[in-house]
Structure 1
Amino acid sequence: MLQFGLSACNGDRNIGTVDMAAEPDVSPASTSAERNPQEQEVTLSFYFGGDKKSATDEVWSNVSEYVKSRGLNVNFAIHYIPWPDYSGKLLAMAASGDNWDLNFDSDNSFQQMAARGSYLALNDLLPKYAPHLYAMYRDKNTLASATVDGAIVGMPWNVKMNQRVYAGWREDLADEAGIVRAPGSVRTIGDVDALLHDLKKAYPNAKLSRTSALPLYVVRDEWVDLGFHGLGFYMNDPNLTVRAIEQQPFYEEAAVMSKRWYDDQILNRDVLLDTESAADQWRNGKMLFTITSHEWAYAADPGFVDASYKQQMSLIYPDKKFVNRSSIANVLAINRNSDHADRVLRFLDMLETDRRLYDLVIYGIEGKTYVLNGNTALYPGDMRFSTSNYMDWGGQWAFWNLAYMRPTETYPAGFWAEESNFAELPTNVPSPVDGIFLSDSAIVDDLAKRDQIYEDVGKPIEYGTVPDIDPSIAAYIQKQKAGGLDSIIANVQKQVDQYIAARIRE
C-alpha cells in the first residue's frame, strides 16, 4: 500500500537528452543472425502482473516479426496475473513444475522463488547469450543481489529511487469542503489524523482510506523493513539486530490509531476483504486519501480517470531517514524448466542494444498505442493512463533501459533525474543490507506458520478490527513465538551478520 501497485522507475541521467535519431547497435552478437540462421521457430512464454491491455497481443506479434528479421526465430505468448494473486500464483506454478520461460518478480516473492530453486542459474548462459546485458550488470555490479549460493538466478533492475511516505488526498474535494492545508504542512501522524477526520466530517458517506496507520509509524521510528515476513531493524542500531515488527512499541501505537480510524469509519469497513488494487481505487475516485511515494506524488499525470480530479501531497516526517529501494525491487527471471533460456537471453540482449526494439516492447506500435511529439511518447487520441491500450503495462520496469527511455505524459523530460536527486537527499540512504539475499530454505515451515498467524491474527490488529488492542497484541506475540519466531530470527540474524562480515572483508 506504499505505492500504486508494483512500480519502478528512476535513473542516473536526464532522460530526454538522448539522440533518438542515432542508429541502434546491431552487432552480430546482439542479433544472433549469423550464429543460427536456420533455427526452428519456438514460442516464448512470459508472465507479468496486472491486467492485460487490449493491444498486447498485437504489439508482441510485431515484436516477434521484428526480432525474426534480426535472426531470432521466436513468437511470444504474453500472460498476465492480477497483482493481488501474482506472487502466490507464481509459487504454485513453480511447485507444480509448470513450464514457462520468463517472468517479472520482486523483493520477497523473488527470494522465495529463488530459494526454492524455481529459477534457472545463469552464470554460464548470461555472458554467452547476452554479452551486452552481462557487461552492463558487470559494470554496475548489481548481480550479487540476485545470486544464491553462487548461482545467478535473476536479472535485477538498475535504477535508484526512494519510496518514503507521502500522504495524498483529493485536493478538489477538500477545496469544495473548505479543508485547506498549506503545502508540506501534513508532516506527522497527528497531522494525518486531523486531516482524515476533517475529510470524514465533510464526506461522511465516502470511502476514505484502506491504508493502516503502520507505514506512518515505520517512518517516524526509522524502522528498516527487510521485506522478509515482518522482520526488520532500526536505522540507528549499529548491530543491525533483527526484530519482529509486532514486538516493537510503535506497532501497538499504530494498531491503536488504526482502530481509532476503523471505529470512526475512516478505514473502509471492507478493508480486510477488498482485494481490488489500491492504485486503481485511487485513480478511479473510490478513495479520498492514499499513501504513496515521491514517484506518484510528483508524476505529471497520476492516472486519474477524470481530469477534474486533483491531488495534494505532503511528505511525512521529512527529517527522518528512510532507505532507498532494494536492488531486487524489480527482477526478470527465467524458469528452471524453460526449454529456451538461450533465446530468452538473446532477446534480452537485443533489447539492451536496439532502440527500435525497445520502443516496440515498452511503448508498442507508433500511431496505435503511442504517438511521438519530438522525443516524447504520448497516448494516442483521447487515451489516458487508465484507458491505455498498451503503454504503462505492468511489469515493464525490470526491462527499463535508461539510455532509451522516452519522456511520457506521466513522466516528462527530466522527471527521472529529479527522482534520482530525491533518492540522493541526506535523509534518503542506502540500506546497510542492500543486495542481501535471505534464504528461507532452513526455516520454510516456520515461515509458513508465521505468515498464516499474521493473516489470521496480525492483519486484523493492524487494521483496527479487533475489539481490544492490548490483549490481542499480547496473544499475537505469543502465537508467533510458539510458531517458531525465535528460530526464524536466529536464522535471519546469522544471514545478516554473514552478509555484513563479507562486505567488510571486501
Structure 2
Amino acid sequence: MGRTKARLPLLITVILLLGTMLAACGGNNNGSNTGNTGSEGNTNKTDNGSTAKPGEGKAEDEVTLKFYFGGDKKSATDEVWSAVSDYVKAKGLNVKFNINFIPFGDFKDKMLVMAASGDNWDMNFDGDWLSYKQMAAKGSYMALNDLLPQYAPNLYKKYQEQGTLSAATVNGQVVGLPWTMKMNQRIFAGWRADLTEKAGINPAPDSIKTIEDIDTFLHAVKKAYPNEKMSRVTPLAIYQVRDEWVDLGFHGLGFYLNDPKITVQAIEQQPFFKESALMSKKWYDDKILNRDAMIDKEDGAAQWRNGKSLFTITSHEWANANPGFADPSFTQQTSLLYPDKKFVNRTALANVVAINRNSEHADRVLRFLDMLETDKTLYDLVQYGIEGKTYVLKGDAAEYPDGMQTTTSNYMEWGGQWAFWKPQFMRPNPTYTKDFWLQEAEFASQPINVNSPVDGLFIAEDNIKNEIAKRDQASDEFGKPLDFGTVKNVEEAVASYIEKQKDNGTDKIIAEAQKQIDAYLASKS
C-alpha cells in the first residue's frame, strides 16, 4: 500500500506529460505549412478523427480538386469527371473534380492575372507556348522536389528514366510535370485540296518548299476564290525555318543553329524579320492575310476544321493525322517546307501540368497523376470518357459515337489533354492511327531533326524585369503590326521598331540571357 501511494505523483506526472505531447502533435502550428505539402501533409484525417497514410484503406475527408485546361468545355465534361471521381474513390482517393476551361486565345493572360491575384486552384495545363515560363519565373507553381517521389513514385520513376525533369527545374526546384512524348513540329504548308482541285490548281506532291513557292500558290488560290477568307497565318515562322533560327521562347530572342557559340540575338534585328514584314504587307494588301488576323482570338485549328480558312501552316503531326474537318467533303494536302534545313525537336515543356503554389491538396493531385500513369482503365476514362456515351470501342480503337466527329464531340479530343498522354495506354482513334506516335518519334529521330542545345534552360528574369516589361509592351504595340502587315511603310517601321527596342533595354536583356546560356552550356560540357 505504501509503495503504491509513493508512485502516484510520478504516474500523474507522466500522464500529464503525455497529454501535453499529444496536444502539441495535434496542434495546427499556428496555421503554418513549412513543408509546402498541401493541407494534409504526410497523413490524411479519417472520419473518426484518426490519421491514415495514403493507401491504408481508411476513409479520408472528401476534397474537391480544381483544374484548369485550355480550349472550350465540351458538353459531357462534368459527367465524365464525375465518373472519374467515382472510380478513384473506389481506389482510395476521395476527391471530386471542378473542371474549368479557358479559351486558348485568352489562356496565357488569364493564368497570369489569376496567379497575380492569388487565386486558389489546384492544377492547370500549361506549356512553353502558353504561360509556363512566365508563371514559373514569378513563382506561381509549387516546388515538387519532395512531394513528387513521395506521392507519385511511378510517375517520378518515369521522369527519372527519361531525364526530362531537368527541363522543368528552376533554381533547383521542380515546378512542372512535363508530358512524356517525343516529337518534332517541322512546319508544312497545308491547304484545302478539295477547293484547289476544283479550281484546277494541282501542285505536285511536296513541290511547295519555299516562301516563294507559297507566295505564288496563295496568289493563284486567291484569284480562284477572291471572296473567301484565305489565312490568318503570317510568314514569319517560314523565314525562321529557312534560316535555321531557334526561338528561345524568351521575349523575341533566339539564335541560329549553325552558330556554335549560341549567340543570343533579337529577332527584330535579323534580316529575315524585315523580309517577313515585307511579305506580310504584300499578303495583307492582296487580302491573302485576313483583315482581322491580328485581333482574331478564335482557335486557329477550329477555324481550319470548320472551313473558315483555305490555307494554313501546320506541323508534321497534323500533316499526317486526321484534322477532323466539320464537313467530310473537305480534304487537305500538305507539303514539307525547307526539308533540307535543320529543325529542333519539341521540348519536354511543350505540354505540362503544374500545381498552383496556393493549392491545399497537392498530395492528392499527385496521387491522381500517379494513378493515371499506371491505371489503363482510369486513362481511358480521363482521355476518352464514358464508353457508349462519349466514345465507342472498335477493336482497340476509340471512335466517336454515331453522329459525332471532332467538331461536334461531347468529350473526346478535349483541349489540354496532351499533358496527360501516356504512350503505353494510347488507343488508335479517329485522329491518330495505330502506331502513330511511334512513327512521330521515328521522324523526330531523323538526322535533320535535332535537339536544341539549350533545351531545358530556364532564363531567369529577376535582373531585367523592367526592361522585359517595356520590350513586351513595344512588341504588342509595334512588332505585331509588322508581323501582320498592317503598317504603311515597312522599311521605316522596322528601323523605328529596332531603335525603340534598343531604348527599352534590349542589349541588357540579351547580355543577361547570354550569361545564363553560357553558364548552362558550361555546366553540360
TM-score where L is the length of structure 1:
0.92
Greater relative CO, 1 or 2 (CA 8 Å, sep 6+) = 1
SS at match of 1:501: helix
Q: Deviations over 1:428-458 (max 9, x none)?
A: 1111111111222222221111111011101
> Does 2:332 match 1:306?
no
Displacement after TM superposition at 1:281 (Å): 1.1
SS at match of 2:462: coil
Q: 1:221 aligns with which of 234, 243, 247?
A: 243
Match of 1:149 in 2: 171
CA distance in 1, matches of 2:116, 2:132: 14
Alpha-carbon distance change, 398 to 32 in structure 1, aligned in 2, over 3 angstroms? farther
Match of 2:261 in 1: 239
Decide whether the 8 Å contact of 2:245 with 2:255 is kept in 1: yes
User: Which amino acid counterpart does residue 141 of structure 1 have in structure 2?
Assistant: G
> Does 2:372 match 1:372?
no
Displacement after TM superposition at 1:402 (Å): 1.0
Q: 2:70 aligns with which of 36, 43, 49?
A: 49
CA distance in 1, matches of 2:503, 2:265: 16
Q: Deviations over 1:182-227 (max 9, x none)?
A: 0000001111001000001000010001111111110100001111
Decide whether the 8 Å contact of 1:209 with 1:288 is kept in 2: yes
**C-alpha RMSD over aligned residues:** 1.1
Q: Deviations over 1:462-494 (max 9, x none)?
A: 111111111100100000011111111111111
Trace 1:38-437 onto structure 2 (pairs within 5 A): 38-107=59-128, 109-299=131-321, 301-437=322-458
Q: 2:502 aligns with which of 481, 492, 499?
A: 481
Displacement after TM superposition at 1:364 (Å): 0.5
CA distance in 2, matches of 1:169, 1:140: 37
CA distance in 1, matches of 2:202, 2:411: 37
User: Which amino acid counterpart does residue 190 of structure 1 have in structure 2?
Assistant: E
CA distance in 2, matches of 1:227, 1:193: 27
CA distance in 2, matches of 1:337, 1:94: 9
Decide whether the 8 Å contact of 1:351 with 1:357 is kept in 2: yes
Decide whether the 8 Å contact of 1:112 with 1:439 is kept in 2: no
Alpha-carbon distance change, 99 to 179 in structure 1, aligned in 2, over 3 angstroms? same
CA distance in 2, matches of 1:439, 1:71: 40
SS at match of 2:349: coil
SS at match of 1:442: helix
CA distance in 2, matches of 1:274, 1:111: 24
Match of 1:28 in 2: none
Match of 2:487 in 1: 466
CA distance in 1, matches of 2:371, 2:298: 36
Decide whether the 8 Å contact of 1:111 with 1:439 is kept in 2: no
Displacement after TM superposition at 1:237 (Å): 0.2
SS at match of 1:406: coil
CA distance in 2, matches of 1:373, 1:356: 16
Deviating more after overlay: 75-84 vs 427-436: 427-436
Larger-gyration structure (1/2)? 2
User: Which amino acid counterpart does residue 502 of structure 2 have in structure 1?
Assistant: K
- Percent of pairs with identical residues: 63
Match of 1:444 in 2: 465
Match of 1:8 in 2: none
CA distance in 1, matches of 2:265, 2:119: 36
Aligned positions, number = 473
User: Which amino acid counterpart does residue 314 of structure 2 have in structure 1?
Assistant: T
Match of 2:28 in 1: none
Alpha-carbon distance change, 40 to 222 in structure 1, aligned in 2, over 3 angstroms? same
Q: Deviations over 1:291-323 (max 9, x none)?
A: 010111111x21110000011100000000010
CA distance in 1, matches of 2:55, 2:405: 42
Displacement after TM superposition at 1:421 (Å): 1.4
Match of 2:522 in 1: 501
Displacement after TM superposition at 1:269 (Å): 1.1
Q: Which runs of 5 or more residues in structure 2 are unaligned?
A: 1-51
User: Which amino acid counterpart does residue 367 of structure 1 have in structure 2?
Assistant: G
CA distance in 2, matches of 1:287, 1:461: 22
SS at match of 1:408: coil
CA distance in 2, matches of 1:431, 1:387: 38
Decide whether the 8 Å contact of 1:145 with 1:328 is kept in 2: yes
SS at match of 2:98: strand
Displacement after TM superposition at 1:32 (Å): 7.2
User: Which amino acid counterpart does residue 405 of structure 1 have in structure 2?
Assistant: M
Decide whether the 8 Å contact of 1:32 with 1:72 is kept in 2: no
Q: Which runs of 5 or more residues in structure 1 are unaligned?
A: 1-30
Displacement after TM superposition at 1:36 (Å): 5.7
User: Which amino acid counterpart does residue 387 of structure 2 have in structure 1?
Assistant: E
Match of 1:24 in 2: none
Displacement after TM superposition at 1:116 (Å): 0.7
TM-score where L is the length of structure 2:
0.89
Decide whether the 8 Å contact of 2:80 with 2:385 is kept in 1: yes
CA distance in 1, matches of 2:447, 2:156: 32
Q: Deviations over 1:311-349 (max 9, x none)?
A: 110000000001011110111100000000000011111
User: Which amino acid counterpart does residue 278 of structure 1 have in structure 2?
Assistant: G
Q: Deviations over 1:2-61 (max 9, x none)?
A: xxxxxxxxxxxxxxxxxxxxxxxxxxxxx9764362210000000000000000000000
CA distance in 2, matches of 1:34, 1:435: 34
Decide whether the 8 Å contact of 1:100 with 1:335 is kept in 2: yes
Decide whether the 8 Å contact of 2:423 with 2:437 is kept in 1: no
Q: Deviations over 1:362-410 (max 9, x none)?
A: 1100000111111110001111011111111111111111111111111
CA distance in 1, matches of 2:177, 2:111: 17
